[in-house]
Amino acid sequence: MSDYLCLSFRFLAPWFHGRGDESAPEWPPSPLRVFQALVAAAARAGTLDATRSALRWLETRSPPVIFAPAAEPSVGYRLSVPHNAMDLVGRQWAAGKEGEASKQRTMKDVRPLRLPEEAAVHFLWEVSSAERNGARASASLLIAAAKAVVALGWGVDLAVGDGALISATERAALATPDGGPALDIWEPRQDAAAWLRTPRSGSLADLDRHHEAFSRRTSLAEPTFRPPPAVSAFAVTGYAKAGDPMPTRIAAFVLMQPMANQMKSFDTARKAMVVAGMLRHAVREAAERAGWDESRIRGSVLGHGEEPGAPPAAPTAARFVLVPLPSIEARECGGEVVSGVRRVLVMSTDAQSADVDWAQRALGGADLIDEQTGEVVAVLASSSRHERGFARYLGPSRTWATVTPVILPGLDDPGGLRAHLRRTKDPAEQKRILERLARRREALVRKALRHAGVPDDLVFNAGIETRSVGFFAGADRADRYAVPQHLKSFPRLHVRVSWARPVAGPLCVGRGRFFGLGLFASQA
């Protein structure tokens, strides 16, 4: 039976500031971050040379399993950060002017992740029975380095490190610590919910080169500034929580201007349907070039739509879902605002359909052509689901709200309650009618969620709010969004859903889901 080298880090404050690629929030902390912390701790303690053999042993190991508590986004705070521009102030002083150093500053928003009190994270590398004896010396040196770690994340993320060689029984007990929060188990998997940097052979040598270059970046003898190269000797490993289902396959694209290296933006309320139509045309042309037969194209790409009044039953064959994505941007005054469509997703009613992988390959560089003018108005640039602009649509989160309205799968006032509401003057009767209308809308939203494949246990335990105005700043009134002609008679509403447990996206529901209406984004 295998043992495990367990390196543990307990945070002294309930915050984690570490960021991953493209400055996205990182959780759990990456194994490369731990490796760098061990190198720094050993160097600070003067034991780096003695620990090198153990660090080289660690960088050749398979990526560790990570035990970590759940982390939640926070509102954050704002810092006033000085510019590296005191030379400008110095010139003003030298000229006899009043240079004000306090003006050489910029505001920086910081949004750390909120952790439970006394949160601890454990990194476990498997040690087989055959290598157990030989690994003890390396493990002892790494545990000593872990005990010298003072921070994990930013410098303000103070942490206390420790370690041990533990058995499989002790490993199982880590997930439910006495008196502490239950821990999620993050395993290296291809169907990743998170992609984390991990050390590999050569990582220690690369850190040595980086430190040497940093030490020589400038000097009195040679004042030219030479920035050190970025750390590059690492692997990127997919991690997913044990027991989590595979995430929905998506093909992700950014909309670029045809003749410029800039993103193209389309008005969400009035042009999102146009983008969806151009995207469908691009998918059809790619499918025809790939030799798809006409029946497959009709079923998977074009669909048949639902006739007015017909129930929106799930399609019998996997069908593409083409989703224009509005950007969700931070405002300088705080908060967020929904703006134009700059990205698109292609997914399928079959969450694991290989056709989505084909779309990612086939549509990169494809043109979006205006049907009326025949002009190319945008170009699809292949992207990654881990690009920051897609994060709010992929979750996971407990609370989701629409950025485009849900077209309800039925009429919310079949008995003429609104007409009765206008006639009656009795407050009690008015309240009763409004409650009946709200219950009807809520039932239709739950029906739409079920049609989109959300499990019943989530659907029937969800908290649901509906209204005509958006739950995000910048979202237009529901009745101002362009919709296909055959769906104009159906009510459309903005919806917010609170789940009993975190749910991962993408989430697109209602009669317009195949072209991006009823699109939800996560809310903190």
**Domains assigned to the chain:** 3-71+114-241 (3.30.70), 77-110 (no CATH), 251-522 (no CATH)
pLDDT at res. 439: 84
pLDDT at res. 317: 67
3-state secondary structure of 216: coil
The set of residues, in sequence order, having a beta carbon less than 8 Å from that of 435 and lying 6+ positions away, is none
Roughly how many angstroms between the first and final C-alpha of the chain, as a whole number? Answer: 43
Q: Do residues 160 and 7 lie in contact, with contact meaning Cβ atoms separated by under 8 Å?
A: no
Provide the whole-model pTM. Answer: 0.63
pLDDT at res. 61: 93
Q: Do residues 78 and 107 lie in contact, with contact meaning Cβ atoms separated by under 8 Å?
A: yes
Q: CA neighbours within 13 Å on the CB side: how many for 229?
A: 8
- CA dihedral over 8, 10, 14, 17, signed as positive or negative: negative
3-state secondary structure of 354: helix
3-state secondary structure of 88: helix
C-alpha 85, offset from chain centre: 35
Q: CA neighbours within 13 Å on the CB side: how many for 386?
A: 18
pLDDT at res. 306: 43
Nearest CA-CA partner of 501 in 455, 466, 465, 445: 455
pLDDT at res. 85: 67
Q: What CA–CA distance (Å, rounded) separates 146 from 36?
A: 11
Number of Cβ within a 10 Å radius of residue 375: 10
pLDDT at res. 271: 93
Q: What CA–CA distance (Å, rounded) separates 326 from 505?
A: 15
Number of Cβ within a 10 Å radius of residue 150: 15
Q: Name the one residue in this structure whose structure tokens are 């859903």.
A: 497
Alpha carbon distances (Å) from 220 to 90, 224, 225, 226, 238: 19, 9, 11, 13, 45
Q: What CA–CA distance (Å, rounded) separates 396 from 505?
A: 7
pLDDT at res. 302: 82
Query: What string of H, E and C letters represents the secondary structure of 287-302?
Result: HHHCCCCHHHHHHHHH
Q: What CA–CA distance (Å, rounded) separates 415 from 434?
A: 13
Q: What CA–CA distance (Å, rounded) separates 210 from 469?
A: 52
Q: Do residues 514 and 321 lie in contact, with contact meaning Cβ atoms separated by under 8 Å?
A: yes
Six-digit token string for 449: 């969620």
DSSP string, 424-459: ---HHHHHHHHHHHHHHHHHHHHHHHHHTT--HHHH
Q: pLDDT in tens for each of the 524 residues of the chain?
A: 679 999 999 999 999 999 887 677 899 999 999 999 999 999 999 999 999 999 999 999 999 999 999 998 888 888 887 776 667 777 777 777 776 766 677 778 888 999 999 899 999 999 988 888 888 999 999 999 999 999 999 999 999 999 999 998 999 888 877 766 789 999 998 767 688 999 999 999 999 999 998 888 887 777 777 888 889 999 999 898 887 777 788 999 999 999 888 999 999 999 999 999 999 999 999 999 999 988 888 888 887 544 444 454 444 568 999 999 999 988 777 678 999 999 999 999 888 788 999 999 999 999 999 988 999 999 999 998 878 889 889 878 889 999 999 999 887 776 776 777 777 777 887 787 777 778 888 899 999 999 988 888 889 999 999 999 999 999 999 999 999 888 888 999 999 999 988 888 899 999 999 999 999 999 86
Instruction: Give the E-state strand segments of 17-119 in sequence order.
Output: 65-68, 72-73, 77-82, 105-110, 113-114
pLDDT at res. 308: 42
Q: What CA–CA distance (Å, rounded) separates 141 from 134?
A: 13
Q: Do residues 395 and 508 lie in contact, with contact meaning Cβ atoms separated by under 8 Å?
A: no
Q: Classify 64 in phi/psi space as left (phi over 0), alpha (psi -120 to 50) or beta.
A: beta
- CA dihedral over 490, 496, 502, 508, signed as positive or negative: positive
Encode 161-171: b = buried (16+ Cβ within 10 Å), e = exposed.
bebebbeeeeb
Type of residue numbered 443: A
Q: What CA–CA distance (Å, rounded) separates 494 from 476?
A: 9
Type of residue numbered 194: A
The set of residues, in sequence order, having a beta carbon less than 8 Å from that of 515 and lying 6+ positions away, is 273, 276, 277, 280, 322, 323, 324, 484
Six-digit token string for 146: 């872990």
Q: What CA–CA distance (Å, rounded) separates 489 from 304?
A: 18
Encode 216-249: b = buried (16+ Cβ within 10 Å), e = exposed.
eeeeeeeeeeeeeeeeebbeebbbbbeebeebbb
By CB atoms closer than 10 A (0-12, 13-18, 19+), residue 348 is buried
